[in-house]
Amino acid sequence: MTSWQRFLDTFFNWPVIQQYLPAIGKGFLVTCEIAILVVVCGIALGLTLAVIRAYRIRPVNALIIVFVDMLRALPPLVLILMLYFGLPNIGVDFTGFTTVWLVLTLVLAAFAEEIFWAGMLAVDPGQWSAARSTGLSHSQTLIWVILPQAVRMTIPPLTNRTIAITKNTALGMVVGVGEILNEATTAQAFSGNASPLTAGAVAYLLLFVPVVYLGRRIEKRFAWKKA
């Protein structure tokens, strides 16, 4: 067997891939489920925190800043391990799926809050004054004037950050979540062949390449037009 044949047999052994393809397909669905929940919940929570921060209530803002800074500083893997293995000691027991969803949601919310907040600060302060002069309240100005402009400006960085964080669904492997990487590594261990890992890599491409493409289309769709 030549080196090239050995390489193909190690990473592209079709009979091995066929044998474990159903398990990797199941992991693909679990990864999709976690990713969708993280994106929806994380962005919604981040936007909510940014809106609350816009009211500039000092004690509340201080808590938000501490929350955001901690979640941005700590690696998601550390948080997952702390919640999954630490909380049962105080009577709180999360499943692996719930732990990964909760941690990635909070991490995405922390980054999304900072991105939304930066977008709101980037809106010309004159927009606030002009809107208030027409009789709009602070809340009406925020919702109908500031947020539409801020959200549009934040789409590119928010898209990139969302993709980066959702790829961390692979961390579910350390707490037994049956996502793509977990199923692929289990198959690799049983088969003694790396081909299931190749199938797992293809599954990640099938999942995230369309997301990247969609993100690029959204960025172009909502980008500010140059004069």
Structurally, how many domains does the chain consist of? Answer: 1
What pTM was computed for the model? 0.90
pLDDT score for 53? 95
Nearest Cα residue to 179 out of 166, 190, 194: 166
Q: Look at residue 122 and tell me if it is in a domain.
A: yes
pLDDT score for 166? 87
Residue 58: is it exposed, middle or buried by C-beta count within 10 angstroms (0-12/13-18/19+)? exposed
**Are 72 and 113 spatial neighbours (Cβ–Cβ below 8 Å)?**
no
Q: Look at residue 146 and tell me if it is in a domain.
A: yes
Q: CA dihedral defined by 89, 94, 99, 101, rounded to 10 degrees?
A: -160
pLDDT score for 77? 94
Give the C-alpha separation, 2 to 43, whole Å: 51
Q: Look at residue 178 and tell me if it is in a domain.
A: yes
Q: Which domain holds residue 72?
A: 3-222
Q: Look at residue 90 and tell me if it is in a domain.
A: yes
In the chain, % of residues over pLDDT 90:
67
- Low-confidence stretches of the chain (pLDDT < 50) are 226-227
Give the C-alpha separation, 110 to 63, whole Å: 12
What's the half-sphere exposure (Cβ side, CA atoms, 13 Å) at 121? Answer: 9
Q: Look at residue 166 and tell me if it is in a domain.
A: yes
Query: Which DSSP helix (H) or strand (E) runs through 108?
Result: helix 96-122
Give the C-alpha separation, 170 to 172, whole Å: 5
Give the C-alpha separation, 165 to 156, whole Å: 15
pLDDT score for 224? 58
**What is the domain-level CATH number for residue 31?**
1.10.3720.10
pLDDT score for 223? 65
Q: Look at residue 227 and tell me if it is in a domain.
A: no
Q: Look at residue 173 and tell me if it is in a domain.
A: yes
